[in-house]
Homo-oligomer: A and B are copies of this chain.
């Protein structure tokens, strides 16, 4: 089966079939046989509300006010919608309508593409990288964060927790600072929390949803949009089911009004979300998936670090996600790393669009066999540079 790692073909995690219970839930829609416009069932809405309450920190508020939910056909549209809200507000206030959009870098490239597509600037906040031998760690640079969010045109922070591509699960303390700085500078905070069900060690690096900080950070409620989806965990990215929680009614109204161009959520997507969040088999499947991915993560780290010295390669050991960020500045390759490795038959997400030219992103959500093929090809490419072979 094709996989991003060796075919450059983007079904990510195409190798993993969705849980049987989820597929059965979809099959029941297929049995129904009518695919006209549809709304989520009461059960599906309740399941999603519970999910937002329990995992993302809303603590019952969404279940009590299910209108807080904004159904979406994916996460990417939401990035665009929040930028439009900021632009709309500038227009309504008859202010200079120019809006800048901040993100920490490196970051999943679609975050950096959103601003320009909407006629907004991008402000990059480089994360602080430290290396311990091979191991690369990323931390927040609070000073740059503060200065950047304080720029007069900065109206939106596109945030990602757990962070793609570093795999960081931001701590409660880090998130508190981010939320407080957004309030201080009156910046809308879009928190993409799609990776929150793929945290490897919930004890040492527990996931905190931004919804959990609403009480502690006055003013956050008026600025927060949390988005998530079962897409990454359950391999249902193209079922077009995602959702946001927008606790502030005024912000919600605006968020909806600028997103009228969005596609529908298919009944298959609702069925998938219902099963993913309520079926005990899906919960067990997720734990097995985590075990498999954790082993792949460690294997990837071991193979690369055993074969390449830290002067040539540094990499993250992600706390979450099925992505590893590999920095190869030390290789001294002067061309783009993505196309370079593509020629060696391994498809890595190039670093430049993610805001960090010396890195590449490796997706290890595949079978061990496919992973090994990809790692061999990656090593062959590195070997060519180091030994000129």
Contact = CB atoms under 8 A, between A and B. Distances in A.
A150 interface: no
Interface centre among A73, A91, A117, A119 (most CB of B within 10 A): A73
Given A1-B34, A35-B18, A35-B238, A263 B263 contact: yes
29 contacts: A10-B37, A11-B36, A12-B36, A14-B34, A14-B36, A15-B34, A17-B32, A17-B33, A17-B34, A27-B30, A34-B235, A35-B237, A35-B238, A36-B238, A38-B238, A73-B73, A74-B264, A76-B261, A76-B263, A77-B262, A91-B119, A113-B260, A114-B260, A117-B257, A117-B261, A118-B261, A238-B265, A239-B266, A240-B240
A238 B266 contact: yes
Contact of A268 (B12, B39, B265, B268): B268
A258 interface: yes
A167 interface: no
Contacts of A18: 33-35
Interface of A: 1, 9-18, 23, 26-27, 30, 32-39, 73-74, 76-77, 79-81, 91, 113-114, 117-119, 235-240, 257-258, 260-269, 272
Contacts of A34: 1, 11, 14-18, 235
A78 to B, nearest CB: 9
Contacts of A240: 73, 240, 263-264, 266
A12 B37 contact: yes
A-B pairs with lowest CB-CB distance, top 4: A11-B36, A73-B263, A17-B33, A80-B261
Contacts of A267: 238
B74 A263 contact: yes
Contacts of A258: 117
A261 B118 CA distance: 9
Given A27-B30, A30-B26, A35 B239 contact: yes
Contacts of A261: 76-77, 79-81, 114, 117-118, 261
A36 B13 contact: yes
A220 to B, nearest CB: 25
Contact of A266 (B17, B235, B257, B268): B268
